[in-house]
Structure 1
């Protein structure tokens, strides 16, 4: 009986095995998982800084041996390094390094327009990477029209990028934060008015990934993820922040500024969705390895710029507020006017203690703004300060706010009459932005404001020390 039971059990198991085998031969095969890998490196707001491109080239080249790689930029490649901004071909060293490092695609940043339309046309034509921006029209400027969006295929992957730039440059106009006179022939649109046109772009392009490549700032990118959740992820810039955040299930990444960091996004993509992601922000200051060919090119650009001439001496370290006081005072003396103004956003660097190099002045004032003078009454100046609510450094007078009134005094602490006339010196960006308050024709001087500062330092032997002076005003 025991033998019989064992025999029956073995027979049943064998029958079951063959029955299952037969059934599996007739079943529909389970497809293999459609798993794809991609690493996206990203930079933003490099503002002319070149030195770390040699390190980026090394990092990207090594990663390309392991997986699919894209290298992308979120804009503001110009304005901030005199080696780039004062090159005979303004901006070309940046384009050259981006080409040779292997940038695949970049959105247009607001400071791409700082050199004017003719120069941007040349830089675009020299670019070997793609430009995207959906909310600009180049019209008859001659600047090549950027793609509204661009789909890049890499091996078995298809990635679509939509480009967007900020348009907060002027209260009564829709332009980026750049010199208004340098975008006269271009047309911009607020991103809110056009972004929904691209809601189905991932489907129409049949892409594995849909990415917003933006130059809008951290808060706006957060708003997009909530109100326009079309994207798999957002890679942004403009606010100079380090961002690794997820809002409404959409990751948002920014990599600081000035090429100090390189963002690394490692993705596993399955059936057109991100299955797994990992983010690393690489500190390029501490990273030691580099591509020697790129480093040699950078060294050549830095040496050829010849910006290490000593033009003055600073008795102490000056923060940006201190620099603003020095800046306006030097401008007033050199331009021989009663009062000078400088927008706080136009002071882009601190001033170190010790010898002042020509390169430092160009870093403080990188925008190549022209120098202009106006003649205005005290009442007109008050109207400008009150109506614009601009944050300004100034020199030549004392400006105070008393409740809702503005009081302007001379150096002897005497209140100036509203009908009194003063000569004003400033960069031409300010009257271009606040043209409602600067309605008269200016006198154009032959130097940029940076060159005016250099002239001042070259013609004075007195050391610089503005650490105890606070000449800031903003109407509240």
Structure 2
């Protein structure tokens, strides 16, 4: 009897042991077995730069052989490279290459609005990746409404991205830093008025990671980490920073600008928390390997652009401020006006000594701003300069500040009466931003500021040299 009992007990112990194993007769997983490996690559503020996409494609494809990968962009993919900005249709090469490289998601940056609503609609529809932005409403424009947040699933890993764009484009309006006339039909909210609506995403969406994909600038990202601490990671843009920092236990990353760098976040995730994180910033200008197919596409876009036509000659190197003097003087002659103004932020590059190409002018002025003229009194010009406190380059007059007042003289150093009327030529971004000082209906030219410069240089062979000029003013 005792032997039967022992036999039954042995059978019971074997049964219990088997039931504790999985269906494959393997041991139950340890916590280490439950961890998930993920690599997130990120860029921001590429501004039309396309040269290094072939390297990104190669790097990402190599990583995919070893790990799950997400490729993200934190905005501002347009405005800065004439190959992209002047392509017909505008911006097409950038989206085409991002599709082929395999981007998963992008935040909408302020310069995504630079081409206007119709082009933005086309580019968003062209994209094969997701767009996110929680503080824009496209209303009835036909532009696809981006998701406020989007969950990307790779293998068994879920990552939710919340998108946010800056809205500091105009003092009296809530719009991004873009041409105000190009976002008239869209509605924006300040990021801090909406971000609290998404504090529970980690619970409702149940992702492994919750990431803020922002285009707000590094200082704002740090503020978010301190005051809205429900993100696992913040990946940012807008300030063109190289950032790898931690605030309030939240890692914050930004990968410079102009596609010079690719950020790489290598993660181990356990129980929906970051168990380990390794960050590296890949210098794409020194990296050697490339995807040949993407490189061929890039070469084709560059060859089609026809930007290396020589249109003038510069007898000296001009820094960006000296370019501003050159710009306003040339436009004064091209537009046939008394005075020209150029906002300092509209000059985006220096000018090398030697031959001047079309490419250089478009790199100096990438925004496709139109040329407009106004008739204004000297008094109205003073009110504009004093009230706006705009930093400008100018031509056609002399401007000084004395005793907290603006002094305007002609080129003969004679004081101009406040009632004197002058014709003013400028890019249409300035009156769009400072519309309280430009209340008339302007006269529109048929060309952009960059096209005006190119036309003048083509028809005038005198070498350019504005290194001795000092036509800068900002009311203090």
- TM class, shorter-chain normalised? over 0.9
Alpha-carbon deviation of 1:355? 0.3
Residue 251 of structure 1 aligns with which residue?
A: 251
Distance 1:254 1:401 in 2: 40
Unaligned 5+ runs, structure 1: 1-20
Cα separation, 2, equivalents of 1:416 and 1:225: 53
Which runs of structure 2 are paired with 1:125-144 in the superposition (5 Å)? Answer: 125-144=125-144
> 1:467: Cα distance to partner?
1.6
CA distance in 1, matches of 2:316, 2:287: 31
Q: Residue 168 of structure 1 corresponds to which residue in structure 2?
A: 168
- Give the match for residue 61 of structure 2: 61
Q: How far apart, in 2, do the equivalents of 1:352 and 1:272 lie?
A: 52
| 1:306-350, Cα deviation, whole Å (9 max, x unpaired) | 111000001111111011110111110111111111111111111
> 1:15 is matched with which residue?
none
Give a deviation string over 1:81-123, Cα, whole Å, max 9, x none.
Answer: 1111111100000000000001100000000011100011011
Is residue 98 from structure 1 mapped to residue 119 from structure 2 by the alignment? no
> Following superposition of structure 1 onto structure 2, how do residues 119-268 of structure 1 map, counting pairs within 5 Å?
119-268=119-268
Aligned partner of 1:384 in structure 2 is: 384
Single out whichever of 395-404 and 450-459 deviates more from structure 2: 395-404
Structure 2 counterpart SS, 1:219: helix
Aligned to 2:338: 338
Partner Cα separation in structure 2 for residue 374 and residue 401 of structure 1 = 23
Tell me how far apart the structure 2 counterparts of residues 263 and 242 of structure 1 sit (CA, whole Å).
Answer: 9
Who is 1:416 aligned against? 416
How far apart are residue 31 of structure 1 and its match? 4.7
Equivalent position of 1:446 in the other structure? 446
1:17-32 to 2 correspondence within 5 Å? 31-32=30-31
Query: Is structure 2 residue 76 aligned with structure 1 residue 82?
Result: no
Match of 2:24 in 1: none
Inter-partner Cα distance in structure 2 for 1:358 and 1:171: 34
Distance 1:475 1:228 in 2: 38
2:457 equivalent in structure 1: 457
Counterpart-to-counterpart distance in 2, 1:391 and 1:265: 39
Instruction: Please report the RMSD computed on the Cα atoms of aligned residues, expressed in angstroms.
Output: 1.6
1:203/1:462 CA distance change after superposition, 3 Å: same
Partner-residue secondary structure (3-state), 2:359: helix
CA gap of 1:94–1:30, structure 2 versus 1, over 3 A, is closer
How far apart, in 2, do the equivalents of 1:48 and 1:365 lie? 13
Counterpart-to-counterpart distance in 2, 1:402 and 1:241: 38
- Correspondence for 2:371: 371
Distance 1:215 1:243 in 2: 14
> What is the CA deviation profile of residues 431-458 of structure 1, one whole-angstrom value per residue up to 9, with x for unaligned ones?
0010000001100011111100001111
Query: What is the rounded CA distance, in whole Å, between the counterparts of 1:454 and 1:401 in structure 2?
Result: 33
Deviations 1:12-53, CA, capped at 9 Å, x for gaps? xxxxxxxxx99x979997853321111111001111111100
Q: Which range moves more in the overlay, 447-456 or 401-410?
A: 401-410
Distance of 1:225 and 1:214 partners within structure 2: 12
1:379-433 Cα shifts (integer Å, max 9, x gaps): 1111111111111111111111113111111111111111111110000010001
Query: TM-score, with normalisation over the residues of structure 1?
Result: 0.93
SS in structure 1 opposite 2:416? coil
**Residue 470 (structure 2) aligns with:** 470
Residue 468 of structure 2: SS of its match in structure 1? Answer: coil
- For 1:391 and 1:38, the matched residues in 2 are separated by 46
Look up the match of 2:41. Answer: 41
Distance 1:245 1:469 in 2: 42
Report the secondary structure of 2:31's partner residue. coil
Corresponding residue SS for 1:380: helix
Aligned length in residues: 455
SS of the residue corresponding to residue 212 of structure 1 reads strand
What is the distance in 2 between the residues matched to 1:27 and 1:37? 27
Query: Could you tell me which residue of structure 2 aligns to residue 350 of structure 1?
Result: 350
Q: Secondary structure at the match of 1:194?
A: helix
The unaligned stretches of length 5 or more in structure 2 are 1-12, 22-27
Runs (4+) off by over 6 Å: 24-30
Determine whether 1:403 maps to 2:403: yes
* 1:229, distance to aligned residue in structure 2 (A): 0.8
Residue in 1 that maps onto 2:7 = none
- CA gap 1:30/1:268 in 2 versus in 1, 3 angstroms: closer
Q: Deviations over 1:208-235 (max 9, x none)?
A: 1000000001111111111111101100
- Number of the residue aligned with 1:11: none
